[in-house]
Amino acid sequence: MTGALAAATPVNCTVNNSHLHNGCGYPAPGLNNFEFKPLFTIGSWGFTKPELLAIIAGLAVIVFFWAAFRKPKMIPGRTQSLGELAILAVRDQIIRPALGKKGDSYLPYMVALFFYILICNYMELIPVLQFPVMSRIGFVWPLVLIMYVLYWYLGFKAKGFVGYFKSWIPEAPWPILIILIPVEILKYVVVQPFTGSPGERVRRPAQHPDLRGVRCAPTVP
């Protein structure tokens, strides 16, 4: 039986010619599913599918909120009502619990960032598109850098250069500070920027439709 099966199996089994009924079997998904050929090239730069999806996600955010609020009315229509609900959700569920009403000044930035990331991740659920843009670290790190620079800038603005660094260290007896100061410095300088982005990078590919059935480890929440 084994010999007959081996004889019937094609010699060169590839992703393109493998399926359930030709002897090669089903090709298990892997990292090759995330390698995209350029849609077109400009010099040495190749424009790929993830870049196209990132642009589509950005345009979707811009077009939706422009359509919702280009002519705002006292009695909102459907699109304006949906836009208002989206903004209030970010304000009441994200900004105010963390910053209070003083955080409302960052509402436009946070709304744009939240829905851009949300749409990028939901791309994996749309037939044909089916790719979570934020699984590519090249899209994650620029957002991390923008947020990290803004975080430090606002800290210096609010507490001054020295005061901001002093705010890192809680009050404690000096023997404990010997250990606590290096830990706090590592927390703000290394841990914060290096925890959110890798978590997002690991979680999104693990939830890709092609890999859901073969992942063997829990995803990062």
Per-residue pLDDT of the chain (221 residues; tens, 9 = 90+): 444 444 444 556 666 666 656 666 666 667 777 788 888 888 888 899 999 999 999 999 999 999 999 998 988 899 999 999 999 999 999 999 988 898 899 999 999 999 999 999 999 899 888 888 988 888 988 888 888 888 889 889 888 988 888 888 888 888 888 888 888 888 888 887 777 554 444 444 344 444 333 333 333 33
Q: Say if residue 91 is in the same domain as residue 122.
A: yes
Looking at residue 112, its amino acid is: A
Say if CB 80 and CB 68 are below 8 A apart.
yes
Q: Say if residue 199 is in the same domain as residue 142.
A: yes
Give the model's pLDDT for residue 51.
Answer: 93
How many distinct structural domains can be found in the chain?
3
Say if CB 198 and CB 190 are below 8 A apart.
no
Enumerate the β-bridge partners of residue 47: 40
Asked which of 119, 135, 151 is the last residue of a domain, the reply is 135
Task: Identify the domain containing residue 149 by its residue range.
Answer: 136-221
pTM of the model: 0.72
Q: Could you give the CA distance from residue 100 to residue 17 in angstroms, rounded to a whole number?
A: 58
Asked which of 77, 101, 135 is the last residue of a domain, the reply is 135
